[in-house]
């Protein structure tokens, strides 16, 4: 759903479209530190989904605060809306 907090409702539509086409990554983090994000649609090819997921993980690792110690990404689970999750190795 459109939401002003996520930038999908804005008076500057041109800038919002440019941001999305330029590769803007949006995600949210809950109070437990779990990151929720979309990496694609069912119609995407497997290669495109893998590229999108790798880019999301790389972005999260780059955003790691310098004060964070220890393992930053402990587990990764990928799931569609109505399916069980599949665990992915974070070391890849």
* Mean pLDDT of the region 36-64: 88
Could you tell me the pLDDT band of residue 7, with boundaries at 50, 70 and 90? low
pLDDT at residue 46 is higher than 90: yes
pLDDT at residue 25 is higher than 80: no
Question: 38-92 belongs to which CATH class?
Answer: alpha beta
How do beta strands 76-78 and 28-29 pair? Answer: unpaired
pLDDT at residue 47 is higher than 90: yes
pLDDT at residue 92 is higher than 60: no
pTM greater than 0.75 (yes/no): no
CA 90 to chain centre: 14
Q: How many CB atoms lie within 10 A of CB 20?
A: 13
- What's the chain's length in residues? 92
Task: Write down the domain spans for the chain.
Answer: 1-37, 38-92
* Confidence at residue 1, expressed as pLDDT on a 0 to 100 scale: 65
């Amino acid at each position: 759903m459109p939401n002003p907090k996520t930038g999908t409702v804005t008076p500057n539509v041109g800038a919002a479209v440019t941001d999305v086409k330029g590769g803007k990554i949006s995600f949210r983090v809950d109070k437990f530190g779990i990151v929720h994000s979309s990496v694609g649609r069912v119609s995407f090819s497997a290669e495109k989904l893998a590229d999108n997921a790798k880019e999301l993980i790389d972005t999260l690792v780059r955003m790691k605060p310098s004060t964070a110690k220890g393992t930053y990404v402990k587990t990764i689970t990928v799931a569609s809306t109505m399916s069980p999750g599949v665990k992915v190795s974070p070391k890849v």
